[in-house]
Structure 1
Amino acid sequence: MTKKILMLVLLLAPMSLFAQKFAHFSYADVMQSLPDYRKANEELQTIYKQYEKDLTDMQNELKTKYEKYQKEVNESTPPQVVERKQQEINDLQQRLQQADEANTKAFQEEQQKKMQPIIQRIINTVKEVAKEGGYVYLLDVASSQNAGVFINESISEDVTKKIMNKLGITEADIAAGKAAAAAAQGNQ
């Protein structure tokens, strides 16, 4: 009797694995298709370009001051003048470094502020789709591959469209997302 129960359990265990539902999606496709993401990304690019311009202006000013210093300073220049000009250059270098650090920090904070609500919205939607579909695992394809986990897509359902539908993403949004992604890759 015990052997029969054990055999039954051993036979049914693998079958219960087949009853589990697995799904996968493309986080990148979902993210790029969201109009909110594209808008936030454009705003961040504008901020980044302004920070970059400010730093470039400061670098050019530093370069100009240094070249002027090299032309004006010679053996007959009084030591106080040489010291003052060197101090001006050092001060400008420090300001440049501080501006770079401040810009980096400000950009990261702005990025966090703009992207976190979008990311959270996607996470919540993925959880909803997983719960509604009764999926045991719902994995992002790219993240899984980066972590060394490969998805057998023939036995896993692609729920990217379901997630996009729940987020209100239209075909036009998908096309705009693909165009923006292609343009961004072309700029690199």
Structure 2
Amino acid sequence: MDFALAYQHWTLEDWKGMVWSDETKINHLGSDRRKWGWKKPGEGLSDRLVEGTLKFGEGNLMMWSCMGWDGVGNVCKIEGKMDADLYVSILDDELLESVEYWGISVEDLVFQQDNDPKCTSKKAKKWLEDNGVSTIVWPPQSPDINPINYLQSYLKRRLGEYEEPPRGIGELLERVVEGVRANSCLCLSGLNQEYA
């Protein structure tokens, strides 16, 4: 409610200056979430209702992406654990490349990031200040109001449409790139050049 009240008088032009960002995990096999199935009374378990599990799914891809009024910005694969240093590096490369690609000035944008410690770290705050990037006040526990989450969900649904699961993380990354290209929903400059 505080967020809605704080920005209730923003105009369309104000919102056009927003750049939304977030990280997402793309699993090699399946989802981390519980899956529900419905069966008729008296119906036993069947292949339709039970999905096999694998002990080792060969991991997942962690990705960072951003988007603004003029389209989707860069996507980058996150190698290792995301900390303040890596986050600042992503801002320095991927965010600034996206802003340049859109042809807008850093001073004209308002950047959205979540309240994760890496985003609120002294290093990240200093980078934002040094680069003249203003940020929106973001409420805690608020993934449902970040529109980039819907774009990331769309990409994951498209990845789930393949009949066969990927044979490994490399093939999963290829499918991400293919999905990005086919749907023109994300920029590729932040992904591995061997796939671009």
**TM class by shorter-chain length?**
under 0.3
TM-score (norm 2): 0.27
Bigger CA radius of gyration: 1
**Structure that is richer in strand per residue:** 2
**Structure that is richer in helix per residue:** 1
Higher relative contact order (CA 8 A, sep 6+): 1
